């Protein structure tokens, strides 16, 4: 692994056809890194992958297929973003959630071990810490996941930490806040910024689950990418977040203003496994990595709405 902590000549990005992963791919290519994307396209889109990157469509739980791809790529770093990331799906099908998030991570770690490649693993923040953690929540807080998704990410983290200690490769864990930005998928229960933007663009009524009171730590995807790159070779666990707690009703308010709409939202209770409050402390990442989120939420939401709706219009 390069001593500078930056990616070397080659990298693998699992989940690289997805929302966050495709932005990581773009940043690596801009740095002159050769990139292989691994994605099963269950939620990601091939069109998100830049033409300069190589796309391999496969399931992370299929170890033999993954081994062939990584052995051919010979990466110096693996950004492991591929996951079953739906809280609702994890409640409905915890076996599949575990297979992808735990077994898939073990497969990535074993492939990385053969090449001495550092892994940057993206974990969850709010779903890891639970409702009762002090806020802003630090990395030293004892995890208390409320869903199988959170539990699977915690288990995967344990494998990352164990492999780091056993094989002396500085794998890193980044616990992400609620990421938003261009390319976010509006079709699902996650990604409230994209969901709201799509509904407002269509003139349809959004729903505030939890009746608008749940809070999250919203962080722009550009800031997240910078955080993931900064974490290469660090060998630590970091919240990649803003430290600012924002109610979901405020997100809708800003997006309505940008959209020029005043649609009365529907109100509904939280769905199973969802948190009431979440806010993560980014101080460790700032002190150890020199990273801090720079995009203010209102600015980021307005920019994101414009980018997303341009995509919606092009696809319509």
Least confident of 228-242, 262-276, 299-313: 262-276
Give the mean pLDDT of 197-219. 97
Give the mean pLDDT of 243-254. 97
Q: How confident is the model at residue 127 (pLDDT cuts 50, 70, 90)?
A: confident
124 vs 8, higher pLDDT: 124
Beta strands per DSSP E along the chain: 10-14, 34-39, 54-57, 77-80, 118-124, 172-176, 178-180, 207-209, 215-216, 218-220, 237-240, 246-247, 266-268
For residue range 34-56, what is the model confidence (pLDDT) as tens digits? 999 999 999 999 999 999 999 99
127 with 255, same domain: the answer is no
Q: Is the pLDDT at 4 greater than 90, yes or no?
A: no
38 with 77, same domain: the answer is yes
Q: Is residue 149 flagged as an active site residue? A: yes
Give the mean pLDDT of 82-88. 88
DSSP string, 204-223: PPPEEEGGG--EE-EEEHHH
232 with 84, same domain: the answer is yes
Whether the bond between 23 and the residue before it is cis, its omega within 30 degrees of 0, is no
- Domain with 161 in it: 10-177+220-242+285-289
When divided into structural domains, the chain yields a total of 2
192 with 91, same domain: the answer is no
Residue 5 in domain: no
62 with 147, same domain: the answer is yes
Give the mean pLDDT of 135-141. 95
- Position 189 scores a pLDDT of 66
The predicted model scores a pTM of 0.94
Instruction: Quickly count: other Cβ atoms within 10 Å of residue 289's Cβ.
Output: 22
101 with 208, same domain: the answer is no
What phi and psi, each to the nearest 5 degrees, are found at residue 308?
-65, -45
* Catalytic residue selected from 129, 149, 159, 180: 149
Beta strands per DSSP E along 254-310: 266-268
165 with 226, same domain: the answer is yes
- Position 1 scores a pLDDT of 34
Domain CATH number, residue 261: 3.90.25.10
CA atoms within 13 A of residue 299's CA, in its CB half-sphere: 7
56 with 18, same domain: the answer is yes
Give the mean pLDDT of 94-102. 96
What is the spatial distance between Cα 258 and Cα 239, in angstroms, rounded to a whole number? 29
DSSP class of residue 129 equals H
Residue 3 in domain: no
- Position 2 scores a pLDDT of 36
62 with 102, same domain: the answer is yes
210 with 117, same domain: the answer is no
Residue 87 in domain: yes
């Amino acid at each position: 692994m390069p001593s500078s902590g930056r990616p070397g000549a080659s990298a693998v990005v699992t989940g690289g056809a997805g929302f966050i992963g495709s932005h990581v791919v773009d940043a690596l290519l801009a740095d002159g890194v050769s990139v292989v994307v691994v994605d099963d396209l269950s939620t990601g889109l091939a069109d998100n992958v830049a033409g300069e990157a190589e796309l391999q469509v496969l399931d992370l739980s299929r170890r033999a297929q993954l081994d062939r791809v990584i052995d051919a790529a010979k990466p110096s770093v693996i950004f492991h973003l591929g996951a079953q990331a739906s809280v609702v799906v994890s409640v409905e099908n915890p076996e599949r959630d575990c297979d992808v998030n735990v077994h898939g991570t073990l497969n990535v770690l074993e492939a990385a071990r053969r090449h001495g490649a550092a892994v940057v693993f993206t974990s969850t923040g709010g779903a890891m810490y639970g409702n009762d953690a002090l806020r802003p929540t630090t990395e030293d807080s004892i995890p208390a996941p409320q869903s199988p998704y959170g539990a699977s990410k915690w288990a995967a983290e344990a494998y990352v930490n164990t492999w780091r200690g056993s094989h002396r490769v500085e794998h890193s864990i980044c616990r992400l806040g609620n990421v938003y930005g261009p390319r976010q998928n509006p079709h699902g229960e996650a990604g409230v910024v994209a969901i709201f933007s799509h509904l407002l663009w269509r003139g349809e009524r959004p729903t505030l689950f939890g009746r608008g009171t749940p809070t999250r730590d919203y962080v722009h995807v550009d800031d997240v990418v910078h955080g993931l790159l900064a974490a290469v070779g660090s060998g630590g666990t970091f919240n990649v977040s803003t430290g600012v707690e924002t109610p979901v009703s405020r997100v809708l308010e800003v997006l309505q203003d940008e959209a020029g709409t005043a649609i009365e939202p529907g109100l509904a209770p939280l769905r199973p496994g969802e948190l009431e409050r979440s806010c993560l402390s980014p101080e460790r990442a700032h002190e150890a990595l020199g990273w801090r989120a720079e995009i203010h939420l209102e600015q980021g939401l307005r920019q994101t709405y414009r980018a997303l709706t341009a995509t919606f219009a092009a696809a319509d």
